[in-house]
Homo-oligomer: A and B are copies of this chain.
Amino acid sequence: MPSVSAPRRTSRPPVEAKAGIPVAEAAVPVPRRALHKGQQTKATIVEAALNLATHIGLEGLSIGALAELTGMSKSGVFAHFGSREELQISVVHEYHDRFEQEVFYPALQASRGVARLRALFDNWMKRTSIELDSGCIYISGAVEFDDRTGPVRDALTASVQTWHAAMRRTIVQCRECGDLRADVDENQLLFEIHGLILALHYEARFLRNEGSMQRAIDGFESILARYARPA
């Protein structure tokens, strides 16, 4: 199964680990269990950091704030990340993984072509609608890091570009299988769809305009109609 692809990953525990010590771990020697506990702790910190970052932005993160949130000592948190920057990058990778799990993978159940493009948009919309109450680090991060250089910006743009590349591949498949016109430019179509998501976030979350969700859906449908292969 193709992946949105994960850029540089933080060391994360297996999913089961989040539900406690997995059965497979029952007989592992102490050293591995210790390592595993360390991974669990790191995952707990990243989870708290991601939750905080969606509300106040990646730049709002600090080792001190995370220590307070997780009830750990600053040195305890520091031991897992070494720097605020590494903590921010771990949050970007965690967000990337969740985006992949919630938006990308479920859409692969839909058949290639417009069905899958529609599934990707629907899942993206679902995620955006949840984030209307908190925030999206792809959007707040763009404002925080658009003027800067460095590894956090690089991790953030790599994550967004990876997602956009997956959208482009899906649009190209729509063209190849004849669902969309042969002259459809995947960059143009992605740009217009991305605009709908950004307008939804801006108008619903900041301006608090009623009906923004339906406008995004209607906009997507009319984009598809515009680029549909003539009958």
Contact = CB atoms under 8 A, between A and B. Distances in A.
A209 B199 CA distance: 19
A125 to B, nearest CB: 13
Dominant secondary structure of chain A at its interface with chain B? helix
A140 B145 CA distance: 11
A216 B191 CA distance: 8
Nearest to A145: B206
Nearest to A57: B143
Interface residues of A, number: 39
A187 B209 CA distance: 10
Contact of A140 (B143, B188, B198): B143
B191 A142 contact: no
A161 interface: yes
Interface of A: 55, 57, 135, 139-140, 142-147, 157, 160-161, 164, 187-188, 191-192, 194-199, 202-203, 205-207, 209, 211-212, 215-216, 218-219, 222, 226
